Structures are given as C-alpha cells and as structure tokens.
Structure 1
C-alpha cells in the first residue's frame, strides 16, 4: 500500500496515537506517498465534472492537506485559490509543493490558511468550495455546523462540490476492511486520549443530503462516469453539488 518513500510502521503507530492535528503534522512530509492522498483519478474526474459549471473566480479547498485538491481549483478558478487546514505541517508541505512549481507558471494566486473548518475565518467571498477525503474526520453530529460554515463563506449562487463513492457491498473485502478499521478506531478512542477521529463508514449519502439541506443548500447528484456503475445500475462515484441560493 505504501511506496518506499512513505511512512514506516513505527511512524504510523506514533501518528495513530496522536491527535488528528499532531498526527498529520508528523505525517505531512510523507503524506503524498501514502494511499491516503486522494487519487489522481478522483481529482481528474472532479475537474471534468466542474468544468463548464462556472465561471468561478475564487475557490476554497476545505481541509486541503498538502494541496491535491488545489490543483482542481486551479483548473476551474480564474482569480485565486485558498487552502485551509488545521495541520500546520500539511500546510507547510503544500506551500513547499507550491514553491516547487515552475516559476511564472500560469494560474490563479494560491493562499494557505491555518484554521479549523468548523470556524472558518472568511466572509462570503468564494464562488466554489471543494473537499476531498476529509469528512471522516468529523462526527456525524458535526456535519450540520460544518456545512453551515461552508454556506457562510460562499457568495450567493456559490457551489460546494465533493466526490462521494458508493459504499462497498456486504460481500466485498473492502466492506469488511473498512468496518474493521472503524471498529479499531472506536476501541482506540475509547482507551486512549487525545482521540483521533477518522471513520470511513459514517459519511452516508442520506445523512449528508439532510445536513446540506439544513444548512440552506439546494443539492443535486451527478454521476462520475469514469468509475462505472454497480450491478444495480447506480453509479460507483458521484459528485455531490450543493448550491447556495442566489439573491
């Protein structure tokens, strides 16, 4: 699962026994060499789905990590892109990646801001917000307040978009792997402090849509055709597209 440049077992164990913030500070230099980084296939599919929905001037990557989603924003936003994350280490790695980009390369200005996604330090200035792979760090009861924060930083008519994969079927090894991970995390958090909140099976589509509606969003689902369909015909991957009402 990990490349030779990725973290070792001891490093992962230290991270797992840390807080979410400190754990990601420790993991940041090697994060892009782990399977936890959002895959290029997901990023590319999201970019294609968002292309043509704009124009977008300013974009926000919520819980940006080292900045994989910032590349999606650069492709569809004309003026500026902003990444926000709680981990100073992940932001530092994102800035390092930004500096390594070719000098003078075209694209919008990029900003990196350390903040809690549950208390965003912005007014309603963004046309588009995205997020990739971060929602497992929030308990289901936190979603209404989290989505309300996103709603508050979007301009009227602004969009909040994120990919969401279909849950694996009961017969799939992935079902049992994710179930086992979540159970292990619950045991860890019952026995050890500080907690490390990361669950793969708590971000369910029905709950997500209800929380988005409660925050004031209108929602639609768009299939991501790159990932095909399940035997029942439903898409294996969707883009959740939530829109703040225009004035």
Structure 2
C-alpha cells in the first residue's frame, strides 16, 4: 500500500497518536507516497464532470492537503484557485509540489480551519476530496454553513462520495474495524485524532446540505464502475447555493 519512500510504521504510529493537525504536519513530507492521497482514478472523472458544469472563475479546495484537488481546480477555474487546510506542513508540501507558475489561474494556499473560513462570498466552486471523515457528524452543519457562506449565489459545492461497502464484505469489516479502533484510541488517548470512514452517509449529508440552503443533485461517475446491483460505485454530489 505504501511506496518504498513512504512513511515507516513508527512514523505512522507517531502520527496516529498526535492531533489531526500535528499528525498531518508530521506526515506531510511523505503524504503523496501513501494511499491516503486521492488517486488520479478519482480525480480524473471529477475533472471531467466539472468541465461540463463550468467554467468557473474562482475555486476553493476545502482541506486541500498537499493539493491533489488543486490540480482539478486549475483545469476548470480561470482566475483564482485557493487551497485551505489546517496543517501548515501539508500546505508547505503542496506549495513545493506545485512550484511557481505565472499562468492563470492565480494559486493561493491558506492556513485555516474549515469550520471558520476567512473568506467572504467570493468563490464560484468549492470541492473537497477525502476529508469529511475528520469532522464529527455534529460538526457537519457548521462546516456546510461555512462553505455556503463563501460561495456566490449559484456557486457550487462538489465532492465525490463512494457507495457504502456491502454488509459482510471485506471492505465492510475493514472499515468497521478501523472506526472501532479509532473510537477506542480516542477514548484512551488525548489529543484525539478524528478520522471515521462510516459516518459520512449520503442520505444524512444530502438532508444537511438542503437544510443549509443548497439545492442538491447527484451525478454518477461511470468511470469508477458499478456495483453488482447496477448502482454507481461512486457519485458526485453537486450542491448549488440557492440564495
């Protein structure tokens, strides 16, 4: 699962016993050599879908990490692309990885908590990849309200969401075991490290986005295949700020 240049078992253990912010600061130099980085197999179909929805002037990558989603935004935004993350280490790695370019769009990296975004309603598009497990269910309404507040009317909040693993499957038991281990870890060790894979359920998320003031549509991502029952393995949530 990890490249030879990726983190050692000891480094992963130290990260797991740290806070979310400190843990990612430690992991940042080797993050792109782990399976935690959003793979190109997911980024490419999202890019295709956004090109069909766009173009956009300004885009925000929420919890951008080292910038996998920033590359998507640079393909569909004409003027400004902003990545925001709480980890200074991840932002530094993202800046170094992206390098300096004089071509449009303008790229910015901002350290901030996604639950307290330091922007007005200046974005046409917000995306996020793989970060929602770091927020407890009770935190999601405020998180979604923050995204709503930084989008212009008609702006879109877009993110992929995978179908849940089938009960009894290897993926189901793996995710169940991981979440259980995290709950035990957080009960016994502080600071907590919030990362739960099974709490971000589509029906709940859709209802919360609607209550926040978004009109929500779902698109399939056919490039990522279908389950045995014919349903998509991954959907794209397209939430439009209605007011």
Shorter chain as normaliser: what TM range? over 0.9
Residue 23, structure 1, aligned to residue 20, structure 2 = no
Deviations 1:187-212 (A, max 9, x none): 00000000000000000001100110
The separation in 1 between residues aligned to 2:221 and 2:98, in whole angstroms, is 28
Partner of 2:215: 218
Greater alpha carbon shift after TM alignment, 4-13 vs 171-180 = 171-180
Displacement after TM superposition at 1:55 (Å):
2.4
Output the TM-score relative to the length of structure 1. Answer: 0.96
Displacement after TM superposition at 1:44 (Å):
0.4
The separation in 1 between residues aligned to 2:149 and 2:75, in whole angstroms, is 24
Structure 1 runs not aligned, ≥5 long: none
Structure 1 residue runs of 4 or more that deviate by more than 3 Å after TM superposition: none
Partner of 2:204: 207
Partner of 1:10: 10
The separation in 2 between residues aligned to 1:82 and 1:37, in whole angstroms, is 18
Residue 182, structure 1, aligned to residue 179, structure 2 = yes
Instruction: Map 1:40-79 to 2 at 5 A.
Output: 40-79=40-79
Partner of 1:96: 96
The separation in 2 between residues aligned to 1:131 and 1:107, in whole angstroms, is 21
The separation in 2 between residues aligned to 1:67 and 1:145, in whole angstroms, is 24
Which of 230, 236, 243 is residue 233 of structure 2 equivalent to? 236
The separation in 2 between residues aligned to 1:20 and 1:228, in whole angstroms, is 32
Displacement after TM superposition at 1:68 (Å):
0.3
Output the TM-score relative to the length of structure 2. Answer: 0.98
The separation in 2 between residues aligned to 1:97 and 1:73, in whole angstroms, is 15
Structure 2 runs not aligned, ≥5 long: none
The separation in 1 between residues aligned to 2:97 and 2:10, in whole angstroms, is 26
The separation in 2 between residues aligned to 1:239 and 1:107, in whole angstroms, is 26
Displacement after TM superposition at 1:245 (Å):
1.5
The separation in 2 between residues aligned to 1:244 and 1:55, in whole angstroms, is 17
The separation in 1 between residues aligned to 2:201 and 2:73, in whole angstroms, is 25
Partner of 2:121: 124
Deviations 1:63-101 (A, max 9, x none): 0000000000000000010000000000000111121x6
The separation in 2 between residues aligned to 1:11 and 1:95, in whole angstroms, is 23
Deviations 1:87-146 (A, max 9, x none): 0000000111121x6x54x44110000000000000000000000000000001111110
The separation in 2 between residues aligned to 1:237 and 1:245, in whole angstroms, is 25
- What RMSD in Å do the two structures reach over aligned CA positions? 1.0
Deviations 1:26-45 (A, max 9, x none): 00000000000000010001
